[in-house]
Amino acid sequence: MPPTISTPLTDLIDIDLPVIQTAMGWVATAELTAATCNAGAIGFFATASLVASEVASELERIRSLTDRPFGVNVLMDAPGADEIIDAMIEHGVTVASYNRAPNAAMIQKLKDAGLLCIPTIGAPKHAIKAIALGADALVVQGGEGGGHTGPVPTSLLIPQVVEAVNGEVPVIAAGGFRDGAGLVAALAWGASGIAMGTRFLMTKESPLLPATAERYLKATVNEIYVTTEIDGLPQRVIENELVRALQASGGINKLLHALQSALDYRKSSGASIVEILRSGLAMRKSQGLSFSQVLLAANAPMLAKKAMVDGDPKRGYLPSGQVAGLIDDRPTVAELVDRIRVEAVSRLDALAALRPQ
């Protein structure tokens, strides 16, 4: 096996390579998470698309597939978050990740139980707040990242955050990564590793169905852009029939679509109307959303389900990092991680050779 790359991230989590597989809804299954961990990186299991009562059995399944450290993502303002956190503690999860609406009491509960906390943030000011709430490391996503994203490119954002945290916690770069060269670039910016979603989405262990996978493989860099049409917030997606239809729709039609998505989400999640309203109000307070944006927020999980689970890339939406435009294969997770390791070591050796002797 090629040499391990050691950074503060590998030391913190006890992994072989400083690479994180992010928690993508409907995609980051027990199988994908375990495969990533077994390959020497760390996978994060997504709970957003599950009923809270289903999480415990899935965590047991991950543990049956790997004895390596693994992570779990929890939406702290979603129905059932307390139950999910209890399951994470009970089943010995190593790392918790979260992003929107961080809850100080929930974070402290996780830390008291011995879990590491690694939230995802998108600005230097958010990094400082996350550390104050107890973050042990930070995933910092630049504008090239898929799904909800910000306007600042990764190459500019990472050095900003590294400077802001001043070595207090490891910084993990996200947004635009797919290979060993990208890992070395992130290390050069001062990061301790990289986090990838889209690249792991396009592996054989990912549950992506053939029709949807084909749309990702065919997408060009220019067809992957940021839109607010899905749920009222900036999201990077692959252009498809759904996005074009939403762009041509009026406001009333969009809200009616969102209401139908909310009803579908209620059936899928098992959450009561009261729980959904409570979650929406929490989102509105934490993110400064309008009432129409709160309604539109129901669109994202159910429209993603159409593409990721039902295999309908025309009527579902395709969250994607811009890097999908450069991905043309679907290796196994082990093949991908080994490829990244070999490429990164080769690039580091080549750079070391540039130094005068």
Residue 18: other Cβ atoms inside 10 A: 30
* Beta partners for residue 319, in sequence order: 237
| 3-state SS class at 213 | helix
Widest Cα–Cα separation across the chain: 68
Report helix angle 81-90 to 104-112, nearest 10. Answer: 10
pLDDT string in tens for the chain (357-residue length): 566 899 999 999 999 999 999 999 999 999 999 999 999 999 999 998 898 999 999 999 999 999 999 999 999 988 899 999 999 999 999 999 998 789 999 999 999 999 999 999 999 999 999 999 999 999 999 999 999 999 999 999 999 999 999 999 999 999 999 999 999 999 999 999 999 999 999 999 999 999 999 999 999 999 999 998 887 789 999 999 989 988 887 666 656 666 665 656 555 656 555 555 555 555 545 555 555 555 556 567 778 889 999 999 999 999 999 999 999 999 999 999 999 999 999 999 999 999 887
In the chain, where are the structural domains located? Answer: 8-204+330-352, 210-322
pLDDT at 290: 54
Strand (E) or helix (H) holding 327: none
| Contact call for residues 316 and 304 (beta carbons, < 8 A) | yes
Q: Which CATH architecture has domain 8-204+330-352?
A: Alpha-Beta Barrel (3.20)
Residue 64: other Cβ atoms inside 10 A: 10
| Contact call for residues 137 and 171 (beta carbons, < 8 A) | yes
| Contact call for residues 112 and 104 (beta carbons, < 8 A) | no
Which amino acid does the sequence have at 325? G
